[in-house]
Amino acid sequence: MACWCTLPYPIVAELLGREGFPAVVLDQQHGLWDTAATLAGIAAVHQAGAAPIVRVPIGDFATVSRALDFGAEGIIAPMINTAADARAFVAAAKFPPIGERSWGPHRSMTFAGISQAKVYLREANDLTVAMAMIETRHALDNLDTILATPGIDGVFVGPFDLSIALVEGKSVDPDLPEVDDALAAIANAANSAKKIAGVFCHASKRAPTLAKRGFRFITAGTDMGFLRAGLAATRRDLKG
């Protein structure tokens, strides 16, 4: 189980890692992480002994390779709707011959404990994970070709956007039956392709169920959610 971090404070990301989450996602798309905060946040998560993952903004493939150079161990790219989108993502995320990632991983080599450039080049594509977000009808229609794209290590479901897409903007509800059916199909397709099935879990109590369905990378909570839950519990205690 991983967790989601929207607040752009490295110490928050570090705390999440130290509390036992093996991976912490720094959200640049809808969270508040800018470049400087992301650089420090990745280091903080490494310091906590967890794996730093970065969700980049839509279509910002330049940030993909930059975050990997900072030491991110995985990238989540939103709105990957076609095989062409997937190939553009891979081009930034993987070194040749799979992709076209530009050389400059000096910080990431330090975190990986690799001092020789040739060794890092040989191992980097396996050390870093590229996950394409599936959150539209278009992406569902192209799921098999996205999964078949060389260099795509897995898919990650955005259930809120997916719910909006599946009911044509009439609602936003990750618990809709249509979303549930789509989740099952995505997990089955990913596992059949021997790729990682990932999902944003809006309610931590659903995480065990999603794990049983075949999801291997699950974000089971957010920093702001934890903060609000803690504040609510404190208020209840103070009221007696």
Q: Which of 37, 2, 18 lies closest to 221, judged by CA?
A: 2
138 is catalytic: no
User: Residue 22 has what DSSP assignment?
Assistant: S
- CA atoms within a 13 Å half-sphere pointing along the CA-CB vector of 139: 27
* Secondary structure of residue 89 in the 3-state scheme: helix
Q: In angstroms, what CA-CA distances link 92 with 38, 63, 204, 222?
A: 18, 8, 32, 27
How far, CA to CA in Å, does 74 sit from each of 29, 126, 139, 168, 228? 15, 11, 21, 31, 27
Q: Which two tokens stand for residue 69?
A: 């150079």
Name the catalytic one among 30, 106, 138, 202.
30
Residues annotated as part of the active site: 30
